[in-house]
Amino acid sequence: MALSIIIPVLNEAESIVATVELLQPFRQGGCQLIVVDGGSRDGTVQLAEPYVDKLLTSKPGRANQMNAGAEVAEGKVLLFLHADTLLP
């Protein structure tokens, strides 16, 4: 696997579906999609789950979430993406 996309999230229910839906072609092309939740209480986890390869929970804090995602990533290259960022 060449690429793992890691998205740290916290209460991103408004934007997470749009983000992970746009990443599905990458996933179908062999990229790994990982979402790491830092304690969301707005349904973010449930919304993201059908669209990702791995869904993790970690201690709050972007660095904790990014490290947790990196630990399980299988790609040679890691792409860290904010939940409200849409790739062109």
pLDDT by residue, tens only, the chain of 88 residues? 799 999 999 999 999 999 999 999 999 999 999 999 999 999 999 999 999 999 999 999 999 999 999 999 999 999 999 998 887 7
pTM, two decimal places: 0.95
Q: Which fold has domain 3-80?
A: Spore Coat Polysaccharide Biosynthesis Protein SpsA; Chain A (3.90.550)
Give Cβ neighbours of residue 80 (< 8 Å, ≥ 6 apart): 6, 7, 8, 66, 69
Domain ranges (residues) in the chain = 3-80
Q: What is the 3-state secondary structure (H, E, C) of the chain?
A: CCEEEEEEECCCCCCHHHHHHHCHHHHHCCCEEEEEECCCCCCHHHHHHHHCCEEEECCCCHHHHHHHHHHHCCCCEEEECCCCCCCC
